[in-house]
Structure 1
Amino acid sequence: MTKLTQEERELLTTVERGEWRSVKNLEKERTRYQGYARATFKKDRRINIRLSQKDLDALQTLALEEGIPYQTLIASILHKYAAGSLVERARLAMSQR
């Protein structure tokens, strides 16, 4: 038997407790939430920024290592920061004290 991760064990426990319910009109709900997802990730604005050559080179190298275009990497970094899932190391260190 495959070992479950902590997250998988928690999900399994909630299923076994009967905490999950079937969704009525599944296709309608799926379509609705797909629309929300498209709207969330729609790239409909263009910006221009100035970066140092050193920073741009570093970003391009990271993107190359990840196998993605550097513009995609920059957009991802900005999205994560705006969503609060990317924090500065200094701020993180202060919160851990």
Structure 2
Amino acid sequence: MKEYKLDTEEQNILDAFDADEFRSDMTSSRRESIKKSAVHASKKDKRINIRISSRDLAVLQRRALTEGMPYQTLLSSILHKYASGTLYDVTANK
């Protein structure tokens, strides 16, 4: 298994989780909202084919691997966030 260097906050979270002391502060309404969004987003009833550069695909595949998900899932998530208006370009106003 790959070892990751954690900062202090991340290590504290991991230690609390390992000691079964980690408790989420997420509200039940937020949890329900996320659950509904996930169910809605997971309904995949259309297939598309796109062409992208091999360089972009390699970057997306590496990013997906870092996130621990298939690259198709990452792409679907990105497209969903863009379509729903929740994907923002943080460099746009710099």
**TM-score of Structure 1 vs Structure 2, range by shorter chain:** 0.5 to 0.7
- Over the aligned positions, Cα root-mean-square deviation in angstroms equals 2.9
Q: Does 1:78 align with 2:91?
A: no
Q: Does 1:42 align with 2:37?
A: no
Q: Does 1:55 align with 2:46?
A: no
Please identify runs of 4+ aligned residues in structure 1 that moved more than 4 A: 36-40
CA distance, structure 2, for counterparts of residue 85 and residue 57 of structure 1? 24
1:59: Cα distance to partner? 0.2
Partner of 2:3: none
In structure 2, the gaps of 5 or more residues are 1-24, 30-35
1:87: Cα distance to partner? 2.0
> Relative to 1, partners in 2 of residues 1:44 and 1:79: Cα closer, same or farther, differing over 3 Å?
same
1:44-75 deviations in Å (ceiling 9; x for gaps): 00000001011000000000001100000000
Q: Which amino acid aligns with 2:63?
A: L
Task: Give the conservation status (yes or no) of the 8 Å contact 2:65–2:71.
Answer: yes
In structure 1, the gaps of 5 or more residues are 12-33
1:41: Cα distance to partner? 3.3
- Give TM-score scaled by structure 1 length: 0.53
The structure whose residues are more often helix, as a share, is: 1
Q: Which amino acid aligns with 1:84?
A: G
Name the % identity.
Answer: 51
Instruction: Provide the secondary structure at the position in 2 that maps to 1:76.
Output: helix
Structure having the higher Rg: 1
CA distance, structure 2, for counterparts of residue 61 and residue 37 of structure 1? 23
Query: Of the two structures, which has the highest relative contact order with CA contacts closer than 8 Å and spacing of 6 or more?
Result: 2
